Homo-oligomer: A and B are copies of this chain.
Amino acid sequence: MSVEARRDVFQAIADPTRRQIINLIAYQSMNLNAIADNFSISRPAVSQHIKVLIECGMVSVRQEGRERFCEAKLDTLKEVAGWVDQYRQFWNTQFDSLDHYLNRIQNNTQSDQ
């Protein structure tokens, strides 16, 4: 981690450890030590990763006594989603199949549900 980070979401999620951190705190805030317990790297290393995530807006911190709870700000991923979504037409996946599923249900509601 450099002193002058890029503060870019794409760059932030490029690191597998940072993606794991996001996965970890996606559904519940955790303090730094709790997060660090899930990794083999040192506590300061995790702290530095979180700093990057904060700088790009993917994590916010709520201080509570001496603990600092990290909360994932997942809507920041909109930027990534927006870029990727331009190209969804090039493959078949959940996004597409959900859409199809929905249409199927709508078409079938009268008859079999």
Which A residues have a C-beta under 8 Å from some C-beta of B?
A: 8, 10-11, 13-14, 16, 19, 26, 74-75, 77-78, 80-88, 90-91, 93-95, 98-99, 101-102, 105-106, 109-110, 113
Which 7 A-B residue pairs are closest in the complex by CB-CB distance?
A: A14-B14, A75-B91, A74-B90, A109-B113, A74-B87, A11-B14, A10-B14
Main secondary structure, interface of A, reads helix
* Separation of A109 and B27 alpha carbons in the complex (Å): 29
CB contact between A85 and one of B91, B95, B106 (< 8 Å): that residue: B95
Partner of A109, one of B10, B75, B105: B105
Q: Are A80 and B84 in contact (CB under 8 A)?
A: yes
